[in-house]
Chains A and B, each alone.
Chain A
Amino acid sequence: MLQHLIVLPIVIPLISGILLLISRHGSTRIKRALGVGSTALLMLIAIALLGKASGGEVDYYALGGWQPPFGIVMVLDRLSALMVLLTAVLALGCVVFASAGDDEQGSNFHGLFQFQLMGINGAFLTGDLFNLFVFFEVLLLASYALLMHGGGKARIQAGLHYVVLNLAGSALFLIAVGVLYGATGTLNMTHMAVRLAELESERAGLVSAGALLLLVVFGLKAAILPLYFWLPRAYSSAPAPVAALFAIMTKVGIYAILRVYYLIFGDLAGPLTALEQPWVWWLGLGTLAVSAPAVLAARDLRLLVAYLVLVSVGTLLAGIGMRTPEATGALLYYLIHTTLVTGGLFLLAELIGLQRGKAGTRLVKGRPLRNGGLLALLFLVGAAAVAGLPPLSGGIGKALLMAAATPSQQPWLWSLLLLVGLCALIALSRAGSTLFWRSHEGEPSELALGKRQLFGVIWLLGASPLLVLLAGPVSDYTQATADQLSSPTSHIRSLLPEHANGGDA
């Protein structure tokens, strides 16, 4: 059983998703119990995987017993274990929140949710480039349906854009995979890294074209500067628990950039090493720059949070663009923080919108909130964390990133990061004072807060103070992850021992 642990984060959601689809007309309680139970089990497995990976060994699971480089492998290293655990923690908050009633607005919520988790976990664990494409499609197909859960004009319209864009992105992904396969003759990412070291020079142009095409695809998923226009509308019109889960979807793109460009185009790739770096650095800064006015201009709390996701994407990309182990360690800490906190803010926005009745989450005068005090406190924690104020995790993440910048990068990164932080702070304080303080009309809403909804919000927003308390061990782990990531040799030694000596040389 223990040796199958690596593949369980894919198999468990698959099995429970199938069970949930079979029993789709069954009682709601059973579906909820199955959905929440499966997600909680996933979290336990993810913790076990993290413990296994934290030793620094790269472990792999050969599907069907076909050894690398011939078969498809699932690879477990520190980075993938961290991402799987982050997904499970986020998903548990979302699925408990959804069990308060959002799951009954349409059909098959819990089944689709499990398939989405299967796709995300698969993308994090796979060691094969084509398999990464397949898991991207699994998670996208589930996300299309989840985005439109409950129906409505806004969702259908945002969904149409999202689907068409991602279908075009899939086409580009296949072209890039085809080019890389044609040039290197392998699809296993570790083997590709070995092959690139002995690449004939006339093929280098072909490989760099394929590599930068992959950056376009991952940039579309991660919402980089010229490719982010789908994100705000899709995220702000999705149902709250789905929008919160989507907080990890942009990070799938970030993960793929980290994985592909550090493993395949790592320090063995000769002239192709770090070929994405200038693009990622400047586009990351550009994303930060355009997100500042967007955050200030948002007139709806959900849209505001969607643009804050964009801010976090820009910050993470700038961190990848620095391409030092320190910066990678810092950005992984920031990634944990921003995924959980923006997810929590999407859920919180839904609670605030529910209690404000017709005004919803628009930043206008509305009904007074029935649980104004509690919600305002949670909003304060979430806003302070996401804007990057010092006592909470956002501040630590940003400080780590800024400390990792080299002197030539500092003027750009520091000024933009702090300016965007200020804009986010202004926008959030304006939103908070409108929602909680500005003169209200009418009676408070009758709608009470559900226990499950509150659990979901506190579970995700509570991660921020927890990340401060555990900042030492967490940043140690992310730093160790960055060190493991900085060179493909540990992957080569584990997956392809016969190439290990050539790889070290």
Chain B
Amino acid sequence: MESLYAITTGILTACGLFLTLRGRSFPVVVGLTLLSYAVNLFLFSMGGLTTNGAVIVDGPGDYADPLPQALVLTAIVIGFAMTAFAVILAMRARGDMGNDHVDGRQTDEPREERR
């Protein structure tokens, strides 16, 4: 399970990074969202992956570390608010500057246009 989990997190991070480096604001916002998903998964795994364990400390038996779950919950809430803000901001920038390029100027990108 560890390798599957690690591959999932890695692919999400790579996709998120790739999209964040795009020139238009929509892919950037989607990229940031993917990146925050990857980070949440990563945080969740930091207490070690436990299967069939209790969620809280319950005697000497097998249990899952409860703290990463609390951290992930906080991170999800914050990430959600930030994404909402970034979406509104990108829309505002689109309206104010007349295009959706992150630098606010219409550049001729023949490579992008041809697709």
Contacts and interface: CB of A to CB of B under 8 A. Distances in A.
Interface of A: 130, 134, 137, 141, 144, 148, 151, 153, 156-157, 159-161, 163-164, 167-168, 170-171, 174-175, 177-179, 181-182, 187
A203 to B, nearest CB: 13
B64 interface: no
Interface of B: 20, 25, 28, 32, 35-36, 38-40, 42-43, 46-48, 67-68, 71, 74-75, 78-79, 81-83, 85-86, 89-90, 92-93, 96-97, 102-104
A157 B32 contact: no
Nearest to B9: A175
A422 to B, nearest CB: 34
A141 B82 contact: yes
A493 to B, nearest CB: 25
Contacts of B68: 178, 181
A174 B43 contact: yes
B39 A171 contact: yes
Contacts of B96: 151, 153, 156
A366 B8 CA distance: 60
- Tell me the dominant secondary structure on chain A's binding face: helix
A167 B46 contact: no
29 contacts: A130-B71, A137-B78, A141-B81, A141-B82, A156-B89, A156-B104, A157-B93, A157-B97, A157-B103, A157-B104, A159-B89, A160-B25, A160-B93, A161-B102, A163-B82, A163-B85, A163-B89, A164-B20, A164-B86, A167-B86, A168-B35, A171-B35, A171-B38, A174-B40, A174-B43, A175-B43, A177-B71, A178-B46, A181-B68
A156 B93 CA distance: 6
Contacts of A151: 96
A134 B74 contact: yes
A175 B85 contact: no
A181 B104 contact: no
Contacts of B97: 153, 156-157
Contact of A134 (B35, B36, B39, B78): B78
A199 to B, nearest CB: 16
Contacts of A181: 46-47, 67-68, 71
Nearest to A155: B96
A130 B43 CA distance: 11
A477 to B, nearest CB: 35
Contacts of B81: 141
Contacts of B93: 156-157, 160
Contacts of A137: 78, 82
A153 B46 CA distance: 42
The 3 closest A-B pairs by CB, nearest first: A182-B46, A178-B46, A157-B104
A154 to B, nearest CB: 9
A174 B89 contact: no
Nearest to A152: B96
Nearest to A154: B104
